[in-house]
Structure 1
Amino acid sequence: MPNGEISIVVIGDLVLDEPDADHWLAGIAPALRQADLAIGHVEVPHSDCEYEMPGDIPAPGAPPENLQAIADAGIAMVSLAGNHVADCGAQGIAETVSGLDRAGVLHCGAGSNINLARKPAVTVVEGKRIAFLSYNCVGPEATWATATKAGCAYLPIRANDGSPISPRANLSEIDTEAYDILRSDIAAARDLADFVLVAMHKGIVHTPAKLAPYERDLARAAIDAGCDAVIGHHAHIARGIEFHRGKPIFHGLGNGCVVTQALTLDQDHPARREWAKRRRETFGFEPDPAYTLAPFHPEARNAFIGHLVFNENGNLRVGVIPVDVEPPGRPVIAEGGRAAEIAKYLEQITSRAGMPPIDIDEHGFVSEAA
C-alpha cells in the first residue's frame, strides 16, 4: 500500500468442521495475507465438548486445531458474537477463546461474562490503533452473556408479535437498550483507537437481497455513534452495501469459508437433519448437489471480501474482492468474467433491497452511484 495507507479486509462466517482446514482457506488466504489486517467471524465454538445448548439447532463443535489454520491464513482478528457461539456451553466458549489466544488471533464478542464479551479487540496497524466490537442481533437469548454467565455480546431486537428473540422470530423492532449499548461501547472504543469497526450478526438467512426491517436503522445508529464501518454476517448469502455519512455498511459478507456436514440431510443428528429439510422448505431453495459441504442457496456462491483502505488523514476508500465458492464449498478469489459477474450481482442486490444504487469499478472500489 502507499505510504500512510492501511489496508483492512473483512470476511464473513467461518465454519471449519472438516479436516485440512488450511486447504479450505487456501483459495482466499493470499488476499488475506496481503492486507495489513484481516478480520473474520468465527461462527461456531471450536471445542471437543459434547454438551449441546437446548433451544436453537445446535452446531457441532469444530476441531480446536482448526483455529491455527485461521491464523495461518492471515486472519489476525475475529468476531465471536453470534447465534451458535454458545452451542457447546460455557466450556465451548472458554476453549474457543483459549484456542484463539494460543493461535495469536485477537477476538471480541464472547467471553465468560458480559464485560469481557463487550470488550473491544484492539490492535496497532501502521501506527494507528484499530478497535473492533462484535454483537449478536438475532438471539437466541440463552446465548447472551450476563454478569455471571458466559455468552456473547448482543443488541436486543424484538419480534413484532412479542415472541422470544431467536433466529426464527420475525425480528423487526430495535430495543432502546441496543442504542444505549452502541453509544456506550463505541464511545469507549473511540477513547482507545483511531478507527472503530463494528460487527453485527444480523438479518434474514438464506434469502437473496432482502433486509430485515431493523437492519439499516441499526447499522446507521452504529455510525451515528462514531464507528467507521459496519460489518454484517449471519445470512449465509451476500447482502448489499450502502454508505451513511460517507461510512460503509456491509450488510452481509456472506460465507467467508463454510465447510461442514452439519447442514446436510445425510447425517445422524436428528435435529440437524430435520432442520436441513425444513430449511429448504421454508426458504424455497434446493442446494446444488455438487456443494456437499456448503448446501446453501445457489446465489450464495457469489461471495466477496470487504476491503477498507484508510489513508493517513483518516479518509476511507471502500472496495470488494469478488470470491467464487467452488464445489464442494471452497472459496477462491474470482478472476476475469466471474469477478465482474459477482460485482454486478452486488450492485443488483443493493438496489433490490431498496438501498441507493452503488457502482463497483474495475478495480473493485465501491461508490454511491451518481
Structure 2
Amino acid sequence: MEKGAISILLAGDLVLDEPDAPHWLAGIAPALKGADLAVGHLEVPHTARGDELKGDVPAPGAPPENVAAIAGAGFHLLSLAGNHIADCGADGIADTLALLAKAGLNGTGAGLTLAEARAPVVMDRGAWRIGLLSYNCVGPELSWAGETRAGCAYLRIETADGSPIAPAADLVRLTDEAVSTLQTDISALREQADFVMVALHKGLVHTPARLAPYERALSHAAIDAGADVVIGHHAHIVRGIEFHRGKPIFHGLGNGCVVTSALSPAQDHPARREWAERRKTLFGFEPDPAYTLAPFHPEAVNAMLGRLTLHPDGRVETAVVPVDVLPPGRPVLATGERSEAVARYIEKITLAAGLPPIAITQDGTVTA
C-alpha cells in the first residue's frame, strides 16, 4: 500500500477524577478526532480497588467509567509510565489495562512485569506503522516494574547526592543504563515500525520554563538511538520545543486534561492535603482560586497539543495547537488573541530554558 500523509496529535497528562468526563474533554475533542492518531499520557490508575503505594504522594484511583470517555474524546494510544500509575498497586494497573482494552485503547509503559511494561505498542494508520515506547524518569523507585513485580517502565537518572530516585529528588545525570535501555528498545521497535515515538515522564514540576540538567541529554539520546519524536510530560506546565538532528522534542506538553480534587487542601487524605499546601511554598506560586480542579501554576493556563504531519517523502511537519485552560480546569482549543498569546509563550519559554529559538506561525507550524 502506498503511504499517504497522516496526522498525529499529542497531548500531555490526563487526570480525570471528576464525574462527567466527556464534559471536561469536550473542549479538545474536536482536534483529537480530527487526527489520524491521538496520543495522551494517562497519569493515574483507573480503579476502585488496590493498596496505596508508599514512597510518593499517592494519587487516588480515578473512576473506572472515565476510561470510556477518553476513547470517546478521540484518543487511540496512551503512554502509562509515570510516577502515579502504580499508586493503587498491581490491582490498579491490572484494572487500568483491562479497561483500556475494553474501550479499544492501546497503552504501553505499565504492566504486571517489567517485560510487559517495556513492550511497545504498534498501530497501523494507512500504510504507516506507528510505534510508541513509554518511560518514567522521575521515580519513585517503588513504582518501577520488576521481573515479577507490577509497575512501570523506567530510565534511571542519577541524583546529585546518591539518594533514591523520586520526583522531589535532585535528578541530574543520565546513566549508561538508561542509554542502553533506549538503544535496545528503540532498535527492536524500529524493526516493527516506520515511525517511533518515545514518551518520557520527566522534568521539574510546577516550574515555568526551566529544564532539569539531564533532560536535553536524555531526549537527545532517544533521538540518537532512532526515535523520530520525543514526547515529554510530568511538569503540569508546558515546556519548550527543540529539534535534534531535525527531529522534534516536546520537552513538556503540560496538562492534556487534568481535573481533580486531589490537589485541594480541603480533603481528608493527610498526605495529599499537606502536599497541596507545601508545593506552593516549594515552587513559589499561588493557584488562581477560580481553578478549583486544576490548582496549578498560573502560567499553566497556557497549554498546547503537539501536532505532527507525516509525509510520504519522509518529511515531518511539527506544529502546536494552542489550548486555553478555563476555570475550574477545562481545556479548550484557543482562538484569537489567546491562541496568539499561547504561541508567543511557548517561544518565550523555549528561549528561557536555554534552547535554540523557535518560531510558531499563525497556523501553529514550528520552525527552528
Residue 334 (structure 1) aligns with: 334
CA distances 1:44-97 after superposition (whole Å, capped 9, x unpaired) = 000001521111000000001100000000000000000000000000000000
- Equivalent residues in 2 for 1:34-49 (5 A)? 34-49=34-49
CA contact (8 A) 2:59 2:262 kept: yes
Residue 117 (structure 1) aligns with: 117
Q: Distance in 2 between matches of 1:265 and 1:279?
A: 11
Residue 242 (structure 2) aligns with: 242
| Residue 65 (structure 2) pairs with residue 51 (structure 1) | no
Quote the offset at 1:266 in angstroms: 0.8
**Normalising by the residue count of structure 1, what TM-score does the alignment of the two structures yield?**
0.98
Residue 220 (structure 1) aligns with: 220
> Given residue 217 of structure 1, which amino acid in structure 2 is its aligned partner?
A
Quote the offset at 1:315 in angstroms: 1.1
Q: Distance in 1 between matches of 2:231 and 2:143?
A: 20
Q: Distance in 1 between matches of 2:326 and 2:182?
A: 37
Q: Counterpart of 1:64 in 2: which secondary structure?
A: coil
Q: Counterpart of 2:84 in 1: which secondary structure?
A: coil
| Residue 41 (structure 2) pairs with residue 32 (structure 1) | no
CA contact (8 A) 2:306 2:320 kept: yes
Quote the offset at 1:126 in angstroms: 1.6
Q: Counterpart of 1:95 in 2: which secondary structure?
A: helix
Q: Distance in 1 between matches of 2:160 and 2:85?
A: 25
Q: Counterpart of 1:192 in 2: which secondary structure?
A: coil
Q: Distance in 2 between matches of 1:314 and 1:82?
A: 31
Q: Distance in 2 between matches of 1:212 and 1:311?
A: 33
Q: Distance in 1 between matches of 2:10 and 2:121?
A: 15
Residue 294 (structure 1) aligns with: 294
Q: Distance in 2 between matches of 1:271 and 1:224?
A: 40
Residue 92 (structure 2) aligns with: 92
Q: Distance in 2 between matches of 1:81 and 1:11?
A: 15
Residue 156 (structure 2) aligns with: 156
Quote the offset at 1:106 in angstroms: 0.5
Residue 303 (structure 1) aligns with: 303
Q: Distance in 1 between matches of 2:149 and 2:101?
A: 20
Residue 357 (structure 2) aligns with: 357
| Residue 10 (structure 2) pairs with residue 10 (structure 1) | yes
Q: Distance in 2 between matches of 1:177 and 1:103?
A: 35
CA contact (8 A) 2:4 2:127 kept: no
Q: Counterpart of 1:14 in 2: which secondary structure?
A: strand
Q: Distance in 1 between matches of 2:126 and 2:340?
A: 32
Q: Distance in 2 between matches of 1:333 and 1:343?
A: 13
Quote the offset at 1:275 in angstroms: 0.4
> Given residue 288 of structure 1, which amino acid in structure 2 is its aligned partner?
D
Residue 176 (structure 2) aligns with: 176
Q: Distance in 2 between matches of 1:50 and 1:342?
A: 39
Residue 274 (structure 1) aligns with: 274
Q: Distance in 2 between matches of 1:113 and 1:51?
A: 17
| Residue 163 (structure 2) pairs with residue 147 (structure 1) | no
| Residue 321 (structure 2) pairs with residue 321 (structure 1) | yes
Q: Counterpart of 1:222 in 2: which secondary structure?
A: helix
Matched length: 366
CA distances 1:217-249 after superposition (whole Å, capped 9, x unpaired) = 100000000010000000000000000000000
Q: Distance in 2 between matches of 1:334 and 1:72?
A: 21
> Given residue 178 of structure 1, which amino acid in structure 2 is its aligned partner?
A
Residue 71 (structure 1) aligns with: 71
Q: Counterpart of 1:123 in 2: which secondary structure?
A: strand
**Normalising by the residue count of structure 2, what TM-score does the alignment of the two structures yield?**
0.99
Q: Distance in 2 between matches of 1:175 and 1:64?
A: 37
Quote the offset at 1:326 in angstroms: 0.1
Q: Distance in 2 between matches of 1:49 and 1:155?
A: 28
CA distances 1:259-286 after superposition (whole Å, capped 9, x unpaired) = 0000011111111000001000100100
Residue 208 (structure 1) aligns with: 208
Residue 135 (structure 1) aligns with: 135
CA distances 1:104-134 after superposition (whole Å, capped 9, x unpaired) = 0000000000111001111001211000000
Q: Distance in 1 between matches of 2:272 and 2:121?
A: 33
Q: Counterpart of 1:349 in 2: which secondary structure?
A: helix
Residue 283 (structure 2) aligns with: 283
Q: Distance in 1 between matches of 2:245 and 2:362?
A: 24
Q: Distance in 2 between matches of 1:230 and 1:55?
A: 27
Q: Distance in 2 between matches of 1:331 and 1:124?
A: 29
> Aligned Cα RMSD in Å?
0.7
Q: Distance in 1 between matches of 2:279 and 2:48?
A: 27
Where does structure 1 differ by over 2 angstroms across 4 or more consecutive aligned residues? none
Residue 192 (structure 2) aligns with: 192
Q: Distance in 2 between matches of 1:151 and 1:73?
A: 27
